[in-house]
Structure 1
Amino acid sequence: LDSSGLCSSQITGANTGIGKETAKELAARGARVILACRNVTKGEQAASDIMKNVDGANVVVRQLDLADTKSICLFAENIYNTEKSLHFLINNAAVAICPYAKTVDGYEMQFGVNHLGHFFLTFLLLDLLKHSAPSRVINLSSAAHAMGKIRFDDLNGEKDYHPVRAYAQSKLANVLFSRELAKKTEGFGVMVFSVDPGVVNTEITRPIRRPLVDLIKTFSFVLKTPAEGAYTTVYCTVTPDNQVLTGGFYKDCALAASCRAAEDNLTSLKLWAVSCHLLGIRWR
C-alpha cells in the first residue's frame, strides 16, 4: 500500500474488453487504477464509464502506444513522476491475427506489441515494482500459446508470415517471459503470472476476416463475456501470496498446465537475451 492506503494498479489496453472489466473490478475493490491506453479519448470514456458505475473510483488515464518504444519511455517517465508506488502491472493489451505490419521500431506488429512492448514496459517499471513490493506482474497470454513456436530465425515474419502463427508465437513468448521474470524477481517480492482468459467476445476479433468472426459469433454461447474473461486476471491480482505460485500459468482461476514449449528453459533464456538485444537494453 502507498501512503494513502491505496493499492496502485496499471493496466495496458484498459479502454475496452477484458482490460476495462479488470479496471472496473479493481477500482471497486478500492485500488487506484491507471488506464494505459493508446487512444486517450477512448481511455477517458472508459474511465468515465467506470466512475459512473463504481462509487469513489480512483481511475486515471495515461497515453501508451506499445508499438512505439519512445511512447513506452515517455509513459514510464510519467509514471515515475506522478506515482509513488505500483503494486500491480497488468500487461493486458494485445493485437491479434492481423495483416502483416510493423511497429514504429520495425518489429512485426504482434510480436512487437504483445511481447516486446510489454517486455520493455516491465523492464522500465521494475524498480518501482520492487520499491512497492509485495507487487505483481500479470501477463495475459492465450490458449493459442500451445500452437506457438519461437521462430528465432524469423521473429519478424519477413521470410514467411502467417497471422495465426505470429499471434501464437507472441502468446508463447508471454508465458516464457513470465516464467523467466519470476525467477529473476522472486528475491525482490515481485510475483509474476501468465493468464489464459479463455475465448472472450472482445474487440480483439476486429482484424479477423468477417466470415470467421460471424462463425465465432454463431457459437457465441461458448464465448465468455469480457467480465468473465477478467476473472483469472483479478484472481491472480488479489489472491494471497501463499495461495498462488509465481511463474505459474493460470486459467479459470486455477493453476494450469502450459504447453511443453512454454516450459523450455533454454528457449526462455534465449528469448530473454534476444529481446534485450532487439531493444538495446541490459537486463540480467
Structure 2
Amino acid sequence: MNGKTVLITGGAGGIGRATAHGLAALGAHVVLVARDPAKGDRTVTEIRRQAGNDDVEMLVADLSSQASVRALAGQVEARLQRLDVLVNNAGGFWATRRTTVDGLEHTFAVNHLAPFLLTNLLLDKLKASAPARVVTVSSGAQAMGRLNFDDLQGETGYSGQTAYNQSKLANVMFCYALARRLAGTGVTSTVLHPGVVRSNFGKDDPTPAIRFVITWFKPFLKSPERGARTSIHLASSPEVAGVTGEYFSGKRVRRSAKLSHDLAAGERLWHESERLVGLPVTP
C-alpha cells in the first residue's frame, strides 16, 4: 500500500481502528475520521507508534450531520492529492428512536445516508485516482432487513433492531447500485460482513438482548483485529483488484439477501437517498 491514500470513517475505535492500523502497517497513508478529536488524536499516536508509519492523520466529523459530512468531503478535496480507497466503516445501533440535526432518523442517517453522501461527494477524487476502491462495512443483519419505503424514518413504529437491519440492507444495495454506476471508471465497490465483533457496538443505547450478549458472550466474540481482516483485504489485496458489486464475509464472496438483488428497489433507494441528502436526483 505504499503511495496509496486511504480514508476510513469511524477510524478511532473498534473495527475502524484495527483497519487503520492494518493498512498503516502495509505502508498506506491513512486518514481516519473521528467524531471525538481527543480520541482521534490518541488513536493516531498509537497507530503511528505500533505500525511504524508516521503517515497517519485524522479529520474530525460528525456523520449524523450532513453539513459535517459535506465539510469532511471539502477537507478531503483540499488536503489530499489522491484518494485510492474509501472505507465506509462508521455505523452503530440505537434502541431508541432519535433524530439528527437534519430531522432524519438517526440509524438510517448514520449507517446509510452518511456513507451514501460522502461517497458521492468524493467520486471525482476517486475516479481521478483510479484504480480506486470503495469498501462499505455492512453486517450479516442485512439478511433480516426490509426496506419500508413508506416509512424509512421509522415514524409509525420504531424498533432499534428493525432500523439497524434496514440500514445494513441499504448498505449492500448501495454497494451494488454504486458498482453499476462506476462500471468502466476503474473504481470498484464492495461490501462486507465483518463478523460478530467484540467492540462498543450498541453500548450507548442497547436493547436488553444486546446487553445480554455484551455481558455474557463478549469473550467469545471476534476481536476487532479479526473483524477488520476482510476490510483490509478488500482495501489492499491484489486478489480483489477489479472485483466490484460483491458481498464478502471472511474474505470470500458470499450471497447477500435476496432483497438486496432487487434492481428496482435498489434504484428506488438510490433516488430516495439522493433526495434525503440534497443531491440532484439522477434519471
Fold shared per TM-score above 0.5:
yes
- Counterpart in 2 of 1:109? 106
Aligned partners of 1:156 and 1:242: how far apart in 2? 35
C-alpha displacement at 1:99, in angstroms?
A: 1.2
- Is the 1:236–1:244 Cα contact (8 Å) retained in structure 2? no
Residue aligned with 2:93, SS? coil
Separation in 1 of the partners of 2:277 and 2:110? 12
Number of residues paired by the alignment?
Answer: 281
1:227 aligns with 2:233: no
Aligned to 2:128: 131
1:95 matched to 2:103? The reply is no
Which stretch shifts more, 220-229 or 204-213?
Answer: 204-213
Question: One-letter code of the match for 2:115?
Answer: H
SS in 2 for 1:205: coil
1:1-284 equivalences under 5 Å are 6-206=3-203, 207-209=205-207, 212-220=210-218, 222-240=220-238, 245-282=243-280, 284=282
CA contact (8 A) 1:123 1:283 kept: no
User: Alpha carbons of 1:131 and 1:41: their partners in 2 closer, same or farther (altered >3 Å)?
Assistant: same
CA distance in 2, matches of 1:48, 1:111: 32
CA contact (8 A) 1:198 1:251 kept: yes
Unaligned runs of 5+ in 2: none
Deviations 1:180-215 (A, max 9, x none): 000111211000001100000111130214664243
Length-normalised TM-score, structure 2: 0.95
Of the structure 1 ranges 210-219 and 138-147, higher mean CA displacement relative to structure 2 is found in 210-219
CA distance in 2, matches of 1:245, 1:211: 37
Structure 1 unaligned blocks of 5 or more:
none
What per-residue deviation string (whole Å, max 9, x for no partner) do you get for residues 43-99 of structure 1? Answer: 111111111211133111101111111111111111111110000000000021331
Using structure 1 for the length normalisation, give the TM-score. 0.95
